[in-house]
């Protein structure tokens, strides 16, 4: 009877399966490497795209910040102009009042008294002047107190002034502006 040896066939089959396994394993490793490489490329391209969008947004934010700074500067300038306009309007509105106050200052000056300096700060007037005597200063203060536009005269200092005469005095006084409640605009 003939003897059949099946062992080499089994070994050849085993070798063939092993080669197929190794080639499939190689293909899987190559496919896995390609997938990892493709995934890395996709993720990197998405990261680059997001960086580009972030850079675009940052550039626009910087541009908008410049525009906001310009707007704030324009608003500041606008507010300054509005304040200047308000001051000008206030001065225009107070012009007749200033004339009236100066007119009252002139009307209240008695003979023998003259002013050397008059300054105003708000409703307070500071008056420096020379009087022939203390009685003239008292008369000036009474007249200032009796005025419709001036009130509360306060004598700050009286000093002898021999340059102007034997009894002459220099004086410093302050008086407040008192606007009448109703001005008819007649000029009296």
Residue 143 in contact with residue 164, Cβ under 8 Å?
Answer: no
pLDDT at 185 over 60: no
Beta strand 113-121 pairing with 124-131: antiparallel
Q: Residue 174, exposed/middle/buried by CB under 10 A (0-12, 13-18, 19+)?
A: middle
Q: Residue 128's pLDDT is what?
A: 92
Q: Residue 52's pLDDT is what?
A: 96
Q: Is 178 helix (H, G, I), strand (E, B) or coil?
A: coil
Q: Residue 97's pLDDT is what?
A: 79
Q: Residue 188's pLDDT is what?
A: 46
Range of lowest pLDDT (71-80, 137-146, 162-171, 174-183): 174-183
In tens, the pLDDT along 14-65 reads 899 999 999 999 999 999 999 999 999 999 999 999 999 999 999 999 999 9
Residues 6 or more apart whose CB falls under 8 angstroms from that of 67 comprise none
In tens, the pLDDT along 127-161 reads 999 998 888 888 888 888 888 888 888 888 888 87
The gap from C-alpha 12 to its chain's centroid, in whole angstroms, comes to 92
Q: Residue 2's pLDDT is what?
A: 67
- Structural domains of the chain, ranges and CATH numbers in brackets: 89-177 (3.30.70.2830)
In tens, the pLDDT along 73-129 reads 999 999 999 999 998 888 777 777 778 888 888 888 888 888 899 888 878 889 999
pTM > 0.75:
no
- The structure tokens listed for 184 are 């008819």
């Amino acid at each position: 009877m003939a003897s059949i040896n099946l062992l080499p066939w089994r070994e050849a089959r085993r070798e063939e399966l092993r080669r197929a396994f190794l080639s499939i394993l190689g293909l899987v490793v190559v496919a896995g490497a390609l997938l990892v490489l493709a995934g890395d490329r996709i993720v990197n391209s998405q990261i680059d795209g997001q960086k580009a969008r972030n850079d675009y947004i940052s550039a626009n934010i910087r541009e908008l910040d410049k525009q906001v700074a310009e707007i704030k500067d324009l608003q500041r300038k606008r507010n300054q102009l509005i304040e200047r306009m308000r001051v000008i309007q206030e001065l225009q509105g107070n012009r007749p009042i200033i004339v009236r106050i100066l007119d009252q200052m002139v009307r209240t000056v008695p003979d023998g008294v003259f002013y050397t300096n008059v300054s105003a700060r708000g409703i307070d007037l500071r008056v420096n002047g020379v009087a022939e005597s203390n009685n003239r200063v008292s008369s000036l203060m009474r007249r200032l107190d009796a005025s419709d536009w001036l009130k509360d005269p306060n004598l700050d200092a009286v000093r002898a002034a021999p340059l102007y005469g034997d009894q002459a005095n220099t004086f410093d006084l302050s008086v407040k502006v008192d606007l009448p409640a109703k001005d008819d605009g007649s000029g009296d």
